[in-house]
Amino acid sequence: MNDNTTATHTPPDWTVIGTRECPHCGRALDVRRIDVAGRTIESVETCPDCEAERDLRATRLAVQCRIQETRDRCGAHYASIYASAGFARYRIEDRNRRAFEASRALVDSMVDRSLGGPRLLLLYGPAAAGKTLLAYAALNTAMRRGVRGAVVRAVSLVEAYADERFRRWLLAWPRLLLIDDAGKEDLGGYLREDYQAALFEIVDRYYAAPGRGLIVTTELPLGRLLARYPDIRDALRWRMREMSAGGAAIRIGGRP
Ligand SMILES: [Zn+2]
């Protein structure tokens, strides 16, 4: 869905504070800064020229080991019902048809970047609506087709994210990331500011990099979900509106 034809992938709410040469090819990359949730985040944009090469290198890593590490650190419960989830076994009804089609289009876009389908998908619906099953069907299908996938539970995100090594890995390694059950994080007593800054950084990074996908599941409709993150609401809405424009903000299940 990224039809941005400029050289940079820096969204407009970042301030570009300089440039840095890519250590591999010398291309000038934006160094950018944003103040969000009481924290200043600085990052260098991903080098589009070297991205493919980095992909190849990362694929040679012990893929299964890394995925296991994500599960361990983020408490991602990969129950057998989810491990075997796939599109073929998903029961399609009128209420979830759009979500199903969007999920399948997202996986196709992960495998073939030229398709330009939705890349950031918000799956929302009440408990037991099947949104997590659908998200795992997408993740499993993508992984079987060679896409590096990872899953984190929203309630465990901040704790894991505080580990700098894990943070860097989460921002760089997965091509498709599933954040399961967003909107309930403060029930675990985590610091909301930290959570918001972490969530913003992840959404922004996945939004800005072509060829990467993000699926967020939540029981909250978009307005209520954003209300949980007051410090980053506008920054998220800017990106989530882009998701809607691509037909990717999907409600499944019963009433919102
Ligand atoms: Zn480069």
Binning pLDDT at 50, 70 and 90, where does residue 242 land? low
Q: Classify residue 29 by its DSSP letter.
A: E
Cα–Cα separations (whole angstroms), residue 131 to 50, 79, 114, 255: 35, 15, 27, 14
Contact (CB, 8 A) for 149 and 173: no
Q: What does the block give as tokens for 160?
A: 């894991």
Q: Classify residue 211 by its DSSP letter.
A: T
Task: Say if residue 188's pLDDT is above 60.
Answer: no
DSSP bridge pairs for 42: 33
Ligand 1 center to 127 CA (angstroms): 44
Ligand 1 center to 73 CA (angstroms): 31
| Residue 17 host element (H or E) | strand 15-21
| Residue 55 host element (H or E) | helix 51-59
For CATH 3.40.50.300, list the domain ranges present in the chain: 76-251
- pTM score, whole prediction: 0.76
| Average pLDDT of the residues of the chain | 75
Binning pLDDT at 50, 70 and 90, where does residue 15 land? very high
Ligand 1 center to 18 CA (angstroms): 16
pLDDT value for 122? 85
Ligand 1 center to 46 CA (angstroms): 8
Ligand 1 center to 31 CA (angstroms): 14
For 140, list phi and psi in degrees, rounded to 5.
Answer: -60, -45
The string of DSSP codes covering 36-73 is ETTEEEEEE---TTTHHHHHHHHHTS-HHHHHHHHHHH
Neighbours of ion ligand 1 (CB under 5 A): 22, 24-25, 27, 47, 49-50
Ligand 1 center to 60 CA (angstroms): 20
pLDDT value for 70? 54
Cα–Cα separations (whole angstroms), residue 235 to 11, 110, 250: 10, 24, 20
Give the model confidence (pLDDT) of 51-101 as tens digits: 655 554 444 433 444 455 555 555 444 444 577 788 887 778 777 788 888
Give the model confidence (pLDDT) of 144-170 as tens digits: 888 888 888 787 777 777 777 778 888
Ligand 1 center to 48 CA (angstroms): 7
* Nearest-angstrom CA–CA distance, 208 and 117: 15
Ligand 1 center to 21 CA (angstroms): 8
* Nearest-angstrom CA–CA distance, 215 and 175: 11
Q: What does the block give as tokens for 109?
A: 């876009």
Left if phi > 0, otherwise alpha if psi is -120 to 50, otherwise beta: which for 117? beta
Q: What is the CATH number of domain 76-251?
A: 3.40.50.300
Q: What does the block give as tokens for 190?
A: 């985590």
Ligand 1 center to 95 CA (angstroms): 44
Give the model confidence (pLDDT) of 89-126 as tens digits: 777 877 778 888 889 999 998 888 888 777 888 888 77
Ligand 1 center to 178 CA (angstroms): 27
Q: What does the block give as tokens for 232?
A: 């980053």
pLDDT value for 60? 41
